[in-house]
Amino acid sequence: MGLPEDPDLQPIIFGLFLSLYLVTVLGNLLIILAVSSDPHLHTPMYFFLSFLSLADIGFISTTVPKMIVDIQTHSRAISYVGCLSQMSLFIIFGCTDEMLLTVMAYDRFVAICHPLHYSVIMNPRLCGFLVLVSFGFSLLESQVHNLIALQSIYFKDMDISNFFCDPSQILSLSCSDPLTRDIVMYFVGVIYGLLPLSGTFFSYYKIVSSILQMPSLGSKYKAFSTCGSHLSVVCLFYGTAFGVYLSSDQLSFTRKGVVSSVMYTVVTPMLNPFIYSLSNRDIRSALRRLHGRTV
């Protein structure tokens, strides 16, 4: 129920979200194609970046296509199975995004603080293992939400005050006991929110400390430029996620909350490839070489 009901706004909203979706998918596909086709980018950092782009495509594809279809069909209904599926995929891809950002922060920490041992520590086996662990933790979180939602027997004819099946609202509708709901939300928040964020902060604390100890200004700039793109994406991801948390309560959702959800679920995946392509010389060079081969 999060979309405006004004018929005059429906074509505008349809065109806007369709454009944002296509730009996001195309931008992230270009990042994946550039990384996979350029041998210069076959490094751990860009290996994780390609999976981050893949997760972003899945993240936005979970919500926007269904919303576009709803606008065209003038229907706001979703089945019980469809709602659980959308919620599960949303959690899986969103949590994978978060875990990969933490893994990429660790990768930058090793590259800057332990450059001589970087190739030994960040070997292909460890990189693959970290991606699998990120996906595994995301799958586990989605199953926790599903088990709670499945406990609700009379789960029909419910109104969800957002444009998708928001996990926090599904949890509120499913839990008749507020104490159980709060325990689950705090537990999930600490395990899947606070711990990855703490890992990212710790990595950047070590990175900044190491950069400040470098003797020359050129060395500091070069070291910081290698993690500037990732730091921008981290700030964008957690900034919009924090905005969604502040603007929402359990059952009611204001227009400000819907705007925050759009920023988190649509705008953030769209901006990620632009941040990496505009501020990363290697990605820009790879895209130019890819364009040259295509032409």
Q: pLDDT (tens digit, 9 = 90+) per residue, 84-114? A: 899 899 999 999 999 999 999 999 999 988 9
- Cβ–Cβ under 8 Å, residues 168 and 185: yes
Q: What is the pLDDT of residue 267?
A: 87
Amino acid at 204: Y
Q: What is the pLDDT of residues 159-196, one digit of tens each?
A: 777 788 888 777 777 665 667 667 777 777 777 778 88
Calpha distance 203→107 (Å, rounded):
9
Q: Residue 193: CB partners within 8 Å, gap ≥ 6?
A: 98
Residue given tokens 């995946």 in the structure block = 269
Q: Which residue in this structure is represented by tokens 């703490």?
A: 198
Average pLDDT score, the chain: 83
pLDDT at 254: 59
Q: What is the C-alpha to C-alpha distance for residues 143 and 135, in angstroms, rounded to an integer? A: 12
How long, in residues, is the chain?
295
Per-residue pLDDT of 259-277, as tens digits, reads 778 888 888 888 888 887 7
Query: What is the tens place of the pLDDT at every residue in 19-55?
Result: 999 999 999 998 998 888 888 888 998 899 999 999 9
Nearest-CA neighbor of 249 among 152, 172, 145? 172
Q: What is the mean pLDDT of residues 127-140?
A: 93
Examine the pLDDT at 197 and tell me if it is beyond 50.
yes
Is 60 exceeded by the pLDDT of residue 251?
Answer: no
Q: Which residues touch 155 (CB under 8 Å, ≥6 apart)? A: 80, 149, 173, 174
